């Protein structure tokens, strides 16, 4: 298959990992990797003020609603008249992300009477603009809205969603053949299979721990284990099941950091452990006319659910950028921010005291 044919056939069929976390003081965070083979050219970091018209159905019979809460996050402006968020947070401290749920997502053909029809690709934006916490987001998907299989940007994206709020509540929402399923208290999400399969699969790795193993004795032979041996058996590939296992243990065992800045820095480190390195996840071999295509971690983001700050970095530039949702709410005006991506290397800062010490 040619790469351009692959991209047309597999839109929205890539990776992604998400989790919630907290600092040592209990400041809540949401983080995610966005893994794909390209990035929509109209992708930006967006701020949508309270009262902004949010599209729920970009079809012949267009539907939209006024945003009850201000929202900020990464998204695209490629859909006329609709801001499509991939992830983000709102002024109430609710954060969420949409992740690919390949071959598993099932949607209704039309909305039942009394339900709001929502296209899957627009569901996250609508949820963040209208819900205060995880409980309301679950109720929206389960009771008030109906996910309908209307194409967006030429395809119906197979999605499931992860939400977390500042109280520590979290949930995974999955549209299945039997209806919408909500898994409360879920703290990690990757891609297919379903969340309950991933949770059960963790039992296969019950021996993983942070402490090193002691010496191993086999008959009369004895050898000391190397540093890091407590994690023997932890899967290291980039498949969805392996990333779920790895991120679950990283979340549970990783040092959380003091204060938001340190916790955010550490959260980015954890996301780096499940990121796709460019060149390792080939999706198309290419040919004489076009280079091969690879899925890779286009960007990573972390949201502070108490500070209302949204942090992100790109594959090309590991530097972390940030916007302040609380400050933007005071301005009350829609804003668009460049994602960036050009590497910025800071000059080293000379330590004068060290320099004087060397001159003696």
Looking at the domain assignment, is residue 233 inside a domain?
Answer: no
Give the mean pLDDT of 59-66: 89
Question: What pLDDT does 4 receive?
Answer: 62
pLDDT in tens, 262-291: 999 999 999 999 999 999 999 888 888 888
In a domain, 107, yes or no: yes
Q: Is residue 67 part of a domain?
A: yes
Question: pLDDT value at position 7?
Answer: 53
Which pLDDT value is given to residue 12? Answer: 53
pLDDT average, residue stretch 4-26: 77
Rounded Cα distance between 259 and 29, Å, is 11
CA 112 and chain centroid, separation: 30
pLDDT at residue 196, rounded to an integer? 98
Is there a domain that residue 219 lies in? Answer: no
Q: Residue 99 contacts by C-beta under 8 Å, 6 or more apart in sequence? A: 16, 17, 18, 32, 159, 160, 161, 162, 189, 190, 191
Give the mean pLDDT of the chain.
92
Instruction: Give the pLDDT band of residue 207 (cuts 50, 70, 90).
Output: very high
pLDDT confidence tier of residue 300, bands split at 50, 70 and 90: very high
Structural domain range at position 178: 3-193+238-359
Residue 57 lies in a domain: yes
Q: Report how many domains make up the chain.
A: 1
pLDDT over 80 (residue 251): yes
In this structure, are residues 146 and 112 in contact, taking their beta carbons and an 8 Å threshold?
yes
Question: Whole-model pTM above 0.85?
Answer: yes
DSSP 10: S
H/E run at residue 267:
helix 259-272
Whole-angstrom Cα distance, residue 80 to residue 89?
Answer: 22
Give dist(CA 54, CA 82) in Å, integer. 7
Is the pLDDT at 13 greater than 90, yes or no?
A: no
- Percent of the chain predicted with pLDDT > 90: 80
Whether residue 21 is contained in a domain is answered as: yes
CA distances from residue 26 to 237, 263, 296 in whole angstroms, order as listed:
31, 10, 32
Could you report the per-residue pLDDT of 311-325, keeping only the tens digit for each?
999 999 999 999 999
| Mean pLDDT, residues 196-219 taken together | 92
Confidence class of residue 144 from pLDDT cuts 50, 70 and 90?
Answer: very high
Closest CA to 301 of 71, 23, 27, 73: 73
> Is 138 among the domain residues?
yes
Q: What is the CATH number of the domain that holds 31?
A: 3.60.60.10
Query: Is 207 a domain residue?
Result: no
pLDDT at position 175 is 98
pLDDT tens-place string over residues 74-123: 999 999 989 999 999 999 999 999 999 999 999 999 999 999 999 999 99
């Amino acid at each position: 298959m040619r790469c351009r044919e692959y991209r047309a056939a597999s839109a929205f069929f890539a990776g992604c990992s998400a989790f919630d976390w907290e600092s040592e003081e209990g400041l809540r965070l949401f983080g995610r990797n966005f893994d794909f083979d390209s990035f929509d050219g109209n992708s930006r970091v967006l701020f949508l003020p309270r009262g902004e018209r949010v599209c729920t159905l970009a079809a012949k019979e267009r539907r939209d609603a006024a945003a009850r809460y201000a929202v900020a996050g990464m998204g695209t402006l490629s859909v006329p008249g609709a801001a499509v968020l991939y992830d983000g947070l709102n002024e109430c401290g609710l954060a969420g992300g949409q992740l690919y749920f390949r071959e598993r997502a099932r949607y209704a053909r039309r909305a039942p009477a009394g339900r709001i029809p929502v296209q899957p690709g627009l569901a996250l934006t609508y949820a963040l603009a209208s819900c205060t916490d995880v409980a309301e987001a679950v109720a929206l998907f389960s009771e008030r809205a109906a996910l309908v299989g209307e194409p967006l940007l030429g395809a119906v994206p197979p999605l499931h969603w992860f939400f977390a709020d500042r109280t520590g509540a979290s949930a995974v929402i999955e549209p299945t053949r039997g209806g919408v399923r909500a898994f409360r208290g879920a703290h990690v999400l990757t891609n297919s299979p379903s969340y309950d399969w991933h949770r059960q699969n963790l039992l296969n790795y019950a021996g993983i721990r942070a402490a090193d193993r002691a010496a191993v004795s086999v008959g009369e032979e004895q050898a000391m284990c190397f540093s890091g041996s407590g994690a023997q058996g932890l899967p290291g590939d980039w498949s969805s099941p392996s990333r779920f296992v790895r991120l679950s243990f990283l979340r549970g065992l990783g040092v959380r950091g003091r204060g938001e800045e340190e916790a955010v820095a550490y959260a980015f480190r954890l996301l780096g452990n499940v990121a796709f390195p460019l060149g390792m996840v080939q999706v198309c071999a290419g040919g004489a006319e076009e280079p091969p295509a690879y899925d890779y971690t286009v960007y990573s983001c972390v949201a502070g659910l108490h500070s209302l700050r949204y942090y992100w970095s790109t594959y090309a530039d590991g530097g972390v950028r940030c916007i302040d949702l609380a400050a933007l709410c005071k301005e009350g005006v829609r804003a668009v921010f460049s994602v960036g991506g050009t590497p910025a290397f800071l000059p080293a800062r000379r330590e004068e005291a060290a320099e004087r010490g060397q001159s003696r």
